[in-house]
Structure 1
């Protein structure tokens, strides 16, 4: 027991130290876009290029968001704003769900420059990065290093407001995992399947109000509860299939829905037009170069550019294919349930995320932080993970240089356009593969063994007197 605890302490110390160093590196790379001298409204004169020879581009959405959304004017978000007919936001509205907007408003308190806003935002984000590390370490032991010691945490920890939403998704898995562990006092689960899932659904509802995607996971979580979600029996035997728990599944859906309503409703009542403007902005958003999706880098070559045909096809194909991908993920999970007696809700959640990322009209590089925890939680083949992360590194080191070339009108560099295309298309191929592979991937240990009971010892066979 003590040896096991000592090993866990070592894993926590190493992973926390590694992730802390990664975030320090991320801060040092991004802060180079800020600093004195400052121009009007607190914009750094170094923005947006910083050191053009730096290995890691200094660009960060955290600094970019300082202007254009009244963050610099400390306007409380959503309440008094709206959107113009040409799609520009005003009056404190930001194009993110309300909790992300609130984080930005809090980060701007006391800030008078984009650099101070960035530094305040970093202070808010760091605890979430560390919390993710701790949760993943407790569930997967050394596999946490896929999170703590790979490039994405350096590249994206302080690029945008991703760490809080990733923390809610990982937190939902952690709640389900902890609830399934066996209490030494009672010899039973610490939490019932329903109770754990309701708590996890609340976290997923919070995540939906940060960046939407955790809300997708409510469906496979409800399916897990619907099928009773019991852990494998002694020696890994399949669980006993029972009837369907429709009441429990409805409780999960209701918990997530009520959480979202409770968070969104105050903003809707206080300033409906401003609240709606954020949704309208996303609805009007086009699949341009800055959305970095397969649509821009593929479809526009067949439509003669970003014309009406292109925009119409993207508007039809993107949601349709996302729906098909979601249905495929849920169906594959149900097939595994019919075979093994256990619905793989974590794998199905990861599969749905992969489908969303590949077919959505926006695929920002920092979305790698969304999918990275699933590489930790699920036994995905390591060459796939390495290929994904290598393509991601190539994309990050070139896409922001591409934006600078387009803006300045400078001659295109072959290695920049090549790096962007390699990153986009390797990601796309792997994400399509992962739609299927995630569902089939077993959980890492010890997460896979949480909730298992040892087979009880059989009594000695003593002959009874006749």
Structure 2
């Protein structure tokens, strides 16, 4: 008589045991340290505020000089003027964009939920310092919850987020903490579910897709993670154990998961599209019209600038950047599929991380704060800490060097590539990050997750355990 040894799949409660063993005190320490780093991040940007203010609420004196010289520039403080934020105009509804690409009437260059966040942070403010403060108070909880989720998933490795230099440099540089939380929360929901009730794999996937759709309404990039999530559902989740009987792929479930994100994006955007179609479209038009120039920090500017004039460089970047990103997404998904054929589980987090590398490398704009998007992947995926240290070093050279270089250019200091330390730091930052992103694209795809994988392990053991007599 043959006997087949079966291994029962872990329940969500069991899969959360790693987090419980981590301990409440340890988790609280991760969150507390994150809070302290966020405070340092605010103080770093607050150096640019005051002590006086002009009639528009702009910090004085010498704001334009200080924010570059002292490396305390923040988009939050800067955009107090120029988008009708200081006038407390509700975003998008009466907005538009001029033929020269200037936003007017309350439109901002960000998706609608970020626009709402900007407007909310400005309500109690009457100068750029107060706007920075209230915006930081609004966003800090998103950073703290991100630390909590990462701690629950990856234990002490979450300190890469909580204590990482990018938090000090960029936490309040722009409005990126909410979108990072959406992306991390989607991973958490897939791994742990939510609440005390047991959730099915399909329920978790639907909620994760909704979270990614909400992330799109903050800062676009989480939308690219919907594809690997749908491929995970298509292939039946860990070990394929969620597939309906007799089916090789679950096309219907994958389509529903992708549709959940699309519906979320439509529902969030629809009120703004109906109330102010011109202002709503202006945010997308602004990004399409944005010039590839010294402020974009991308490989397109630094790679093409020495060989052609700005108009030709712009045309080439506009033509090549979007399909190059799409190709990188396709390559990541395909390599993930190859790993699925070998391991039995589609590596959706790894593929998402690789796709993010492709986006950061090939998009025509690479703003400094985009590093915040990548840091959770350093926590969630098991790679050597040397990769993280190298990326942080290149990013630090970029994050500090770029503003010192702007200061040198604008205020008559030495700014040549070969005779300016700040310019050399920018070169190291741009090409160092580019090389690391290219390498990390493949490193991420070969890595394992740092959170509990017993669901997948159990399913694979069931599939591979031979019958014994």
Question: In the alignment, which residue of structure 2 is the partner of 1:459?
Answer: none
Would you say the 8 A contact 2:142–2:178 is kept in 1?
Answer: yes
The 1:6/1:352 distance shift into structure 2, 3 A limit, reads closer
Which residue number in structure 1 is paired with residue 442 of structure 2? 436
1:384 and 2:390 are equivalent in the alignment: no
Alignment pair present for 1:273 and 2:301: no
Task: Output one character per residue of 1:55-113: Cα deviation in whole Å (capped at 9) or x when no partner.
Answer: xx111111011010000000000001101111101000000011100000000002100
String of CA shifts for 1:158-191, please: whole Å, max 9, x gaps.
111010000000000000011399x9x9xxxx22
Counterpart check, 1:50 vs 2:66: yes
User: Which residue of structure 2 lines up, in the alignment, with residue 407 of structure 1?
Assistant: 410
Unaligned runs of 5+ in 1: 234-239, 457-466
Whether 2:230 is the aligned partner of 1:214: answer no
Residue number in structure 1 paired with 2:123: 109
User: Which structure carries more relative contact order (alpha carbon 8 Å, separation 6+)?
Assistant: 2
Question: 1:69 corresponds to which residue?
Answer: 83
Quickly say closer, same or farther: Cα 1:149–1:79, change in 2 above 3 A. same
1:294 aligned partner:
299
Aligned position for 2:36: 21
Structure 1 equivalent of residue 360 of structure 2 = 357
* Structure 1: distance between partners of 2:108 and 2:392: 30
Shift in Å, 1:241: 10
Match of 1:121 in 2: 135
Q: Distance in 2 between matches of 1:4 and 1:381?
A: 22
Check if 1:196 corresponds to 2:225. Answer: no
Question: 2:351, 2:444 within 8 Å by CA — same for their partners in 1?
Answer: yes
Distance 1:110 1:124 in 2: 12
State the alpha-carbon separation in 1 of the partners of residues 223 and 230 from structure 2.
12
Q: Is the 8 A contact 1:147 1:376 kept in 2?
A: yes
Correspondence 1:68-87 to 2 at 5 A: 68-87=82-101
Instruction: Give 1:337-352 correspondences, 5 Å limit.
Output: 337-352=340-355
TM-score of the pair, normalised by structure 2: 0.89
CA distance in 1, matches of 2:394, 2:199: 41
Q: Give 1:400 deviation, angstroms.
A: 1.1
Match 2:163 to one of 149, 164, 189: 149
Equivalent-residue separation in structure 2 for 1:231 and 1:408 (angstroms): 60
TM-score, length-scaled by structure 1: 0.90
Q: Quote the residue 1:247 is aligned against.
A: 252
Aligned residue for 1:177?
A: 191
RMSD of equivalent CA atoms: 2.4
Aligned-residue offset at 1:196: 0.5
Alignment length, in residue pairs? 440
Report the Cα offset of residue 447 of structure 1: 2.9
Q: Distance in 2 between matches of 1:3 and 1:162?
A: 29
Describe the superposition over 1:359-394 as per-residue Cα deviations: whole angstroms up to 9, x where unpaired.
Answer: 000001111100000010001222111100111111
1:40 aligns to what SS in structure 2? Answer: coil
Residue 397 of structure 1 and its aligned partner are, at CA, apart by 1.2
d(CA) in 1 for partners of 2:69, 2:105: 37
Q: Report the CA distance between 1:4 and its aligned residue.
A: 7.8
| Unaligned 5+ runs, structure 2 | 1-13, 463-469
Q: 1 CA distance for matches of 2:105 and 2:69?
A: 37
- SS in structure 2 at match of 1:50: helix
Match of 2:146 among 115, 132, 146: 132
Q: Which stretch has the larger CA shift, 264-273 or 293-302? A: 293-302
CA distance, structure 1, for counterparts of residue 67 and residue 121 of structure 2: 25
- Helix, strand or coil: the match of 2:400? helix
> Within 1, Cα distance between the matches of 2:377 and 2:104?
37
Please list the CA deviations of residues 304-335 of structure 1 after superposition, one character each: whole Å capped at 9, or x if unmatched.
Answer: x32x2211111122112111101100000111
Tell me the CA shift for residue 242 of structure 1: 5.5
Report the CA distance shift for 1:232/1:266 in structure 2 as closer, same or farther (over 3 A). Answer: closer
- Relative distance call for 1:241 and 1:118 in structure 2 (3 A) is farther
Residue aligning to 2:45: 30
CA distance in 1: counterparts of 2:51 and 2:371, whole angstroms: 32
C-alpha distance in 2 between matches for 1:279 and 1:49: 31
Report whether the alignment pairs 1:311 with 2:311: no
Find out whether 1:422 has 2:425 as its counterpart.
Answer: no
Whether the 8 Å contact between 1:365 and 1:395 is mirrored in structure 2 is yes
